[in-house]
Amino acid sequence: MNGWRAVRWALLLLATMNFPIEAGLDYLLKPRRIAPDTYVFVGLAEDFSRSNGGNIVNTGFIVTTEGVLVIDTGSSRLYGEQMRRAIAAVTDQPVRQVLITHHHPDHYFGNQGFRDVPIVALAGSIGGMKQEGGAFADNLYRMAGDWMRDTEPLAALQEARPGRSTIGGHDIELIALKGHTQADLAVLDHTTGVLFAGDLVFWQRAATTPHAAIADWLAALDRLQALKWKTIVPGHGEPHADARGIAQTRGYLKWLDATLRQAAADGRDMPELLRIPLPAEFAGIALARQEFDRSIAHLYRDFEQNVLSGATRQ
């Protein structure tokens, strides 16, 4: 009897203990060195889910003699904290600054792990974080569950100033663009030739379009391609040493634009569009069907409105 009471007390104690959220939730972040002083955490080509916790994005960091520059912080408080520990395992240099490429939650919801250092983004991104962060958080809690526990949409506070500066022996250029969102920051390290392109570039993972302006996006891709870089880190997909990601993203956006434009001109409705087969060159890209269907929801009404506006003017 005494033994049974001991077991019951032990079970009660276990039930009331507050185990850390990290128990069993490990992003397994392993920094990959892609150039001198330059590391990337490569995310999965998947949607947010309870199995991956939102580990679907590329984040990275540059180690300089004046501290570490972090590019994007991932999808949750937990990701940001684990990312910071992974950085500390590589270098004793403190984190100097965080650069956020845009306001989508998989790129900045790890900011809590870096709240003691300056977190920098373009003004339009800061506005987007403040306006949409709460809605993003609600959606991600539903999609990823406990991985998101205690995550708050901590917006960047410091506005990025485009241009070049030397930081700890690295010639860093901040480039203000738009198209994927209203404010997209690219980071080019002229010292190593690594370009962090954010979600302006996808590789072997279909582009997302909730805030897209396709014409602006295509112009941004042209500007990125004209820069002098050696390695490009897309927002999603493997880093690579040529323009294949830019070319694939450009090709997909041009096809998407032409398809939606023609459908609107033909008077096709959304259910008809959902049945359109994807071209072979894009059908094999991860999440291509899902993202095309989402793009119809995101963009098609504007194409229809443009057709109606043209007819009204005539």
Q: How far apart (Å, rounded) are the C-alpha atoms in residues 313 and 308?
A: 9
Does the residue 156 lie in any domain?
yes
pLDDT, tens only, 62-74: 999 999 999 999 9
Does the residue 272 lie in any domain?
no
Secondary structure of residue 174 in the 3-state scheme: strand
Structural domains of the chain, count: 1
Does the residue 274 lie in any domain?
no
116, pLDDT greater than 60? yes
Distance of CA 312 to the CA centre of its chain: 39
Residues 6 or more apart whose CB falls under 8 angstroms from that of 255 comprise 279, 282
Percent of the chain with pLDDT over 70: 91
**Sheet with strand 194-202: strands edge to edge:** 163-167, 170-177, 184-189, 194-202, 231-236
Distance of CA 278 to the CA centre of its chain: 24
- Name the token pair of 218: 């295509």
Task: Label residue 199 by pLDDT band (50, 70, 90).
Answer: very high
Does the residue 164 lie in any domain?
yes
For the segment 5-24, the average pLDDT, to the nearest whole number, is 41
Residues 6 or more apart whose CB falls under 8 angstroms from that of 78 comprise 21, 22, 25, 27, 53, 110, 147, 148, 149, 151
Whichever domain contains 174, its CATH number is 3.60.15.10
Does the residue 232 lie in any domain?
yes
Residue with tokens 């004046």: 66
Q: How far apart (Å, rounded) are the C-alpha atoms in residues 202 and 308?
A: 32
Residues 6 or more apart whose CB falls under 8 angstroms from that of 203 comprise 234, 236, 237, 238, 240, 244, 245, 248, 249
Q: How far apart (Å, rounded) are the C-alpha atoms in residues 198 and 175?
A: 11
Identify the pLDDT of residue 309. Answer: 82
Does the residue 45 lie in any domain?
yes
140, pLDDT greater than 70? yes
Does the residue 284 lie in any domain?
no
pTM of the predicted model, to two decimals?
A: 0.91
Does the residue 106 lie in any domain?
yes
CB 107 within 8 A of CB 100: yes
Identify the pLDDT of residue 308. Answer: 86
Structural domain of residue 194, as residue ranges? 10-243
Nearest Cα residue to 248 out of 288, 213, 304, 276: 288
Distance of CA 45 to the CA centre of its chain: 12
Exposure string (b/e) for 189-200, b if CB count within 10 Å is 16 or more? bbbbbbbbbbbb
Q: How far apart (Å, rounded) are the C-alpha atoms in residues 112 and 121?
A: 15
pLDDT, tens only, 221-246: 999 999 999 999 999 999 999 999 99
